[in-house]
């Protein structure tokens, strides 16, 4: 068992590489196979959509042809004096009635020839109580029944429209379901309805217009606006309301889709639909997706071919991987035999080209390592110096001692309020400098620190030097480096008023053109600025609050933000000093005080 474990460790690179290759090849093969099947199905659906659109177009053409013939008959009946006379004449004498019947029969036979459909039945009914039918067998409706029929009521309600309506079968099955075209006959001079014309076609006959386009898994439906199936090759569904199917059809119409995959009647279908404005109905074509696609792709053959390709590829990968890793294993064995910290052990450069390159790189690395160790020693010295400089940025202990001594004196003098305020200012100052480990503060936080620092100094040295703050409200939440302004306030407080004993220090913070400008202005003694433009040296070596000098601020700013930002100083002896600090605008990630 140990031999097998050792062998596995020595050849772990080969096993890992081979495992990655196997996983990758199998994954890619599965993805390609799946993608190919999906693309084939999509391609078929696209092609089928084009073909089926033509079928829908042909069915629509048949419907429009029927609609044109019925509209022609209705229009001629509306203009016919014979029809009007038959439906308005109230003469009931047998001879006159027989003449009128003969004339209307000739006229109606002519209309029947225009419809050009053997199953059609043209019926006219007048307000005078007369009724004539060309084929009463196809739609045997009495005058009393027809007068109260919803089809008639709708015709009276919409006298100017040609209506296509569904007439259900009778409970005794004496009347077959039919599609009826109706139109009120209107006397335009008197704006009065004198009759109604009906052209009925039994659903069985109407279905002949599209039956040759239907088949196994390919169904056609004609649906009205209420969701009722008026006609279909699925006879059991005729007359039923299918609200879900109507909803899907409406969605296709609203989104102008060519085809949609839906699930109705507990099956997956491809839905094609078209609105027929003449009928005010929807022509629907449902294609059984499973039935159509079951013979589309031979998935077993594709999987078998993919598996064969994968096995052949794995054999090739095995041989190549073994050849590559064998020389690598020898190199690894040499490296592993190198004693710890023995940087003078060089490996033999043998094997394949890649292994030789690795051996050369390893030997070169040893040479570089010697140089790196020497550089590391120099870097560590610089790091220790940097740590010392970081320590200088802590609070000056003398500042704490002097502040506490001042508080003690205030307590002894009984000035409890000032001592309390001074302690609170010191606590807040320490919290935001020592307790806050962040390298940046918001302008608002830095302003509070400055106010606390100034307050403590004024309690210790008096308020002969006034400090004013002018900060734009929209700058309060911007980020600035911690303790960036304080050295300039400190320098002005302790070194700008050696000759003058009173004066003011102003802090101004604003933004302009994407730059945050902080200015510290005093009207103190001023100083001589060298012509080279370098920052002036501090007038004293001792920092009363921290170890950060004005030169450190310049270096920090340019290190953090680049050379386009930094500090500018203007000063004149006897007039004072103006310090400008230019910073980029940085939004604060956390607007709450620490």
Looking at residue 161, its pLDDT comes to 92
What is the residue-averaged pLDDT of the chain?
Answer: 81
Q: What pLDDT was estimated at residue 231?
A: 93
Q: How confident is the model at residue 547 (pLDDT cuts 50, 70, 90)?
A: very low
> Where in the chain are the domains?
50-293, 338-391, 397-584
pLDDT of 164 > 90? The answer is yes
pLDDT score for 540: 47
pLDDT at 323: 66
Which range, of 100-104, 117-121, 487-491, 548-552, averages the lowest pLDDT?
548-552
Query: What local confidence, expressed as pLDDT, does residue 75 receive?
Result: 93
Confidence of residue 256 (pLDDT cuts 50, 70, 90): confident
Percent of residues, the chain, with pLDDT higher than 90: 29
Q: What is the pLDDT of residues 325-340, one digit of tens each?
A: 666 666 666 676 665 5
User: Is 50 exceeded by the pLDDT of residue 592?
Assistant: no
DSSP run (H or E) holding 250:
helix 243-255
Q: Are 455 and 439 in contact (CB under 8 A)?
A: no
Q: Which two tokens stand for residue 92?
A: 């009931």
Residue 435 has what pLDDT?
58
The pair of structure tokens assigned to 216 is 């196994």
Confidence of residue 388 (pLDDT cuts 50, 70, 90): very low
Cβ atoms within 10 Å of 72's Cβ, excluding its own: 13
Pick the CATH number of 397-584 from 3.90.1300.10, 3.30.70.260, 2.60.40.1180, 3.30.565.10: 3.30.565.10
| Percent above pLDDT 70 for the chain | 79
**Per-residue DSSP letter, 431:** I
Band of pLDDT at residue 354, cut at 50, 70 and 90:
low
**Closest alpha carbon to 461 in 427, 416, 422:** 422
Alpha-carbon distance of 15 to 315, in angstroms, equals 14
* Higher pLDDT, residue 168 or 550: 168
Identify the CATH assignment for 50-293 out of 3.90.79.10, 3.40.50.10470, 3.30.450.220, 3.30.1130.10: 3.30.450.220
Residues 6+ away with beta carbon under 8 Å from 308? none
Strands 260-264 and 465-471: unpaired
Q: What is the mean pLDDT of residues 527-548?
A: 56
Average pLDDT over residues 392-419: 72
Which tokens belong to 234? Answer: 């699925």
Q: Poorest-confidence range of 278-282, 372-376, 452-456, 457-461?
A: 372-376
Confidence (pLDDT) at 580: 94
- What angle do helix axes 12-79 and 2-10 make, rounded to 10 degrees? 70
Of 402 and 209, the structure prediction assigns the larger pLDDT to 209
Q: In the 3-class helix/strand/coil scheme, how is 51-104 assigned residue by residue?
A: HHHHHHHHHHHHHHHHHHHHHHHHHHHHHCHHHHHHHHCCCCCHHHHHHHHHHH
pLDDT exceeds cutoff 80 at 377:
no
- For residue 48, pLDDT over 70 is answered with no
């Amino acid at each position: 068992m140990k031999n097998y474990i050792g062998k596995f460790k020595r050849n772990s690179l080969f096993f890992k590489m081979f495992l990655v290759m196997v996983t990758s090849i199998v994954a890619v093969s599965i993805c390609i196979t799946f993608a190919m099947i999906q693309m084939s199905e999509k391609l078929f659906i696209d092609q089928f959509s084009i073909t089926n659109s033509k079928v829908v177009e042909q069915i629509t053409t048949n419907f429009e042809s029927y609609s044109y013939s019925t509209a022609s008959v209705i229009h001629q009946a509306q203009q016919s004096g014979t029809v009007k006379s038959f439906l308005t004449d109230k003469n009931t004498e047998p001879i006159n009635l027989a003449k009128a019947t003969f004339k209307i029969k000739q006229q109606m036979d002519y209309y029947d020839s225009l419809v050009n459909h053997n199953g059609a039945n043209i019926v006219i009914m007048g307000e005078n109580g007369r009724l004539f039918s060309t084929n009463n067998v196809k739609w045997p409706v009495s005058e009393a029944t027809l007068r109260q029929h919803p089809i008639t009521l709708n015709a009276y309600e919409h006298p100017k429209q040609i209506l296509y309506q569904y007439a259900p079968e009778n409970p005794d099955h004496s009347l077959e379901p039919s599609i009826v075209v109706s139109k009120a006959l209107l006397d335009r001079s008197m704006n009065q309805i004198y009759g109604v014309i009906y052209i009925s076609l039994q659903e069985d006959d109407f279905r002949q217009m599209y039956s040759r386009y239907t088949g196994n898994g390919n169904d056609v439906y004609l649906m009205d606006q209420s969701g009722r199936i008026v006609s279909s090759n699925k006879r059991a569904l005729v007359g039923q309301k299918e609200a879900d199917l109507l909803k899907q059809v409406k969605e296709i119409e609203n989104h102008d889709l060519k085809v949609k995959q839906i699930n109705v009647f507990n099956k997956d279908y491809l839905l094609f639909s078209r609105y027929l404005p003449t009928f005010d109905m929807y022509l629907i074509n449902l294609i059984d997706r499973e039935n159509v696609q079951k013979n589309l792709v031979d998935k077993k053959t594709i999987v078998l071919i993919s598996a064969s390709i994968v096995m052949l590829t794995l054999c090739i990968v095995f041989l190549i991987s073994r050849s590559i890793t064998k020389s690598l294993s020898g190199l690894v064995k040499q490296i592993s035999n190198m004693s710890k910290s023995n940087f003078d052990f060089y490996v033999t450069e043998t094997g394949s080209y890649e292994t030789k390159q690795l051996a050369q790189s390893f030997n070169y690395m040893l040479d570089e390592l010697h140089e790196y160790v020497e550089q590391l020693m120099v870097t560590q010295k610089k790091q220790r110096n940097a740590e010392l400089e970081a320590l200088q940025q802590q609070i000056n202990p003398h500042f704490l001692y002097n502040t506490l001594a001042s508080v003690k004196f205030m307590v002894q003098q009984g000035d409890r309020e000032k001592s309390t305020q001074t302690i609170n200012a010191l606590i807040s100052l320490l919290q935001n400098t020592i307790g806050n480990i962040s390298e940046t503060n918001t302008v608002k936080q830095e302003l509070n620190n400055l106010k606390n620092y100034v307050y403590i100094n004024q309690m210790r040295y008096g308020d002969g030097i006034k400090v004013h703050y002018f900060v734009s409200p929209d700058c309060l939440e911007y980020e600035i480096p911690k303790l960036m302004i304080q050295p300039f306030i400190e320098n002005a407080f302790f070194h700008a008023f050696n000759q003058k004993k009173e004066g003011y220090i102003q802090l101004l913070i604003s933004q302009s053109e994407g730059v945050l400008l902080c200015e510290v202005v005093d009207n103190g003694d001023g100083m001589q600025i060298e012509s080279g433009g370098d920052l002036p040296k501090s007038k004293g070596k001792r920092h009363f609050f921290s170890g950060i000098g004005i030169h450190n601020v310049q270096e920090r700013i340019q290190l953090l933000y680049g050379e386009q930002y930094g500090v500018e100083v203007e000063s004149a002896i006897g007039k004072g000093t103006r310090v400008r600090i230019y910073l980029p605008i940085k939004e604060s990630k956390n607007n709450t005080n620490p």
